[in-house]
Amino acid sequence: METAERRHLYELGFKVLMALMRCALFAFCVFIMGDTIKPFAGKVSYADLRLIFKADVGRYLGWAICIVFGGSGMVWGIIERELRRREVKRLTRQKIELESRLDPNRTSSGLNSNGENDEEE
């Protein structure tokens, strides 16, 4: 056998061994969990109470979805407004520089650097 074929056989053997080890680990976990769950069989536990609580909360799921999407929309709007203001400020500086090159006697429109009217108006 060539070394490449041998190496390929070793790799296949290793993969099979790893798969067997994973299956054995899964079986062991199931065995251990079975022993820990047996004492709770047929009894009311905190897990049951939590399940009942979650089912009760399910009635308010529609409101929760509305609040999540409404809040997300508000946050998105606030972020977009801030990004727009930054972009206007950046473009305003560039526009003023270009206009002053073309016409040094040009007067201002009265808008501040954010592109908004002054508070006094």
3-state secondary structure 72-85: HHHHHHHHHHHHHH
The reported pTM is 0.41
Location of structure tokens 């606030």:
78
User: Is the confidence at residue 42, as pLDDT, over 60?
Assistant: yes
- Of the CA atoms within 13 Å of residue 53, those in its CB half-sphere come to 6
List, for residues 69-109, the tens digit of each pLDDT value: 888 999 999 999 989 988 888 888 887 788 778 877 776 66
pLDDT in the model for residue 51? 57
Query: pLDDT > 70: what percent of the chain?
Result: 64
Domain ranges of the chain: 1-36, 55-103
State the Cα–Cα distance between residues 57 and 112, nearest whole angstrom. 50
